[in-house]
Amino acid sequence: QVCAQLCRRPCYCPWVPPRCPRGSPLVLDGCGCCKICARRLGEPCDFLHVCDQSQGLVCDYSSASAGTGGTCNFEDDEEGCEVNGRVYRDGEVFQPSCKIQCHCLDGGFNCIPLCQEDVRLPTPDCPYPRRVEIPGKCCPEWICEAQDQHLLRDARAVSPLLRFPCQEWGTEWSACSATCGLGFATRVSNQNRYCRLETQRRLCMVRPCPAPPAAFPAVS
């Protein structure tokens, strides 16, 4: 009876099918006549505007007043969560991307990263580490040597007179190794021709050493 009241025969459908939002497939309406966008979790529904059955959704009339439509919900009334237009059941573990893994729980979801978030500090063999995306790999990786050489050549081409074609970095000079007279101080710096970390030394003198006492000739 409901079908006879709402469904017209023959079918009259628009020439161009509707453009559905992401995650909402094209399905036949309740009359089995025209293509429509399936309703998603939490969206209004009725006899004509059906829910997305591929997601396990049905039109729930339990909270609707008489004569009004229902709301798309899971058939067993379980709570779920929607991410990027896709519905996941409560307790389901899923990956929206290769970089994170999520857990649907009580209508919400928690996610953890799958890529390491380590930090690589400059070292003598890799003074300029940089994290880059690698084609064919999900997680970015650290690179140094090959990329550093390109950066160094580019810097020299732009400014051949630049003494240090990189960002200068160095520690403070250490205290002089000798408390008097000539000694040396050290530091770690990249201010050199190849912009690599190295230990540098320089002469220093805090003060002259006192002269030794004069030797007096022995008295016979």
Would you identify the CATH topology of the domain 81-113?
A: Complement Module; domain 1 (2.10.70)
Outline where 79-218 has alpha helix (H).
145-158
pLDDT lower than 50: segments of the chain: 1-3, 146-148, 150-151, 154-164
- The one-letter amino acid code at 16 reads V
Q: In this predicted structure, what is the pLDDT of residue 76?
A: 64
- pLDDT, position 80: 72
pLDDT of residue 215: 53
Domain with CATH 2.10.70 in the chain: 81-113
The amino acid at residue 84 is N
Q: What distance in Å separates the CA atoms of residue 204 and residue 180, rounded to the nearest whole number?
A: 9
Q: What is the widest separation between alpha-carbon atoms in the chain?
A: 145
Beta bridge partners of 179: none
Any bridge partners for residue 72, and if so which?
59
Residues in the chain: 220
> Is the domain covering 169-206 a CATH 3.20.20.370 domain?
no
pTM of the shown model: 0.38
Could you tell me if 46 and 70 are in contact, meaning their C-beta atoms sit under 8 angstroms apart? yes
Instruction: Name all contacts of 72-75 with Cβ < 8 Å and 24+ positions apart.
Output: 72/39, 72/40, 72/41, 72/42, 72/43, 72/44, 72/45, 73/41, 73/42, 74/41
Q: Where in the chain is the domain with CATH 2.20.100.10?
A: 169-206
For 1-76, the fitting CATH number among 3.30.1300, 1.10.1760, 1.20.120, 4.10.40 is 4.10.40
- pLDDT recorded at residue 198: 74
Residues of the chain with CATH 4.10.40: 1-76
Please answer whether residues 109 and 102 qualify as being in contact, where contact means their C-beta atoms are separated by less than 8 angstroms. yes
Strand partners, 80: 89
Radius of gyration of the chain (CA): 37
Output the pLDDT for position 158: 42
Place of tokens 């290769």: 98
